[in-house]
Amino acid sequence: MSSQSDLTARARIRDAAIALFAEKGIAGATIRDIATAAGVSSGLLRHHFGSKEGLRDACDEYALNQVTALGIQFTETNLLSRITPEIMGLQRYLIRSVMDGSPSALAMFDKTLEYGEHWLERSELDIQDPRAYLAVIAVMKMAMFVMDDLLSHALGERVDQPAGWARVISASIEIFSHPLVTPELQEQARKALADFTASTIEEQP
């Protein structure tokens, strides 16, 4: 049975890895970097996780469970009040992990789309291409984390902190609450897209 100090060391290693993976990417953060940040030896890190890939899998599982549990537990309450710098760090880590493109990261992105499909089934939205709709929304949301430096520059405050992030969420609510095109323009755009798609198919050999 592991001692309490072992469990504490494991958590320190995991948390240090999440922070460094989010900052440098999976490939950019070394075992030595993580061990140093956690205040442990590289040997102890390997004792707990076996390898960097094993550590990364543990980080994926922990971060996804924490963020998902938050969403499920507080669906009917003021979720924004629960968004802490720690949770935002986990979200940033998950997005960096997805961008890495590994099988586990892509599986995590697919799981996100599955959650979206369940939500869409309960909604009253009439979506022509649900898969594309959900994928585009997911990537748009990811971009707010990936390009947080630009958002921070534009807003004059850090969006990786709750106050700045609240402004980003407020803007998102405004964007999704008001149609950006009239029904007439929407119909014109759909017709133009249909014509473009048809002409593209005709040009294919």
Specify the pLDDT at position 166.
87
Query: pTM of the entire structure?
Result: 0.69
What is the C-alpha to C-alpha distance for residues 92 and 58, in angstroms, rounded to an integer?
A: 16
pLDDT mean across residues, the chain? 84
Provide the pLDDT confidence category of residue 79 given band limits of 50, 70 and 90: low
Residue the block writes with tokens 């979506």:
127
Which segments of 124-161 does DSSP mark as H helices, in order?
Answer: 130-146, 148-155
Specify the pLDDT at position 108.
75
**Residue 33: partners with Cβ closer than 8 Å, 6 or more residues away:** 20, 24
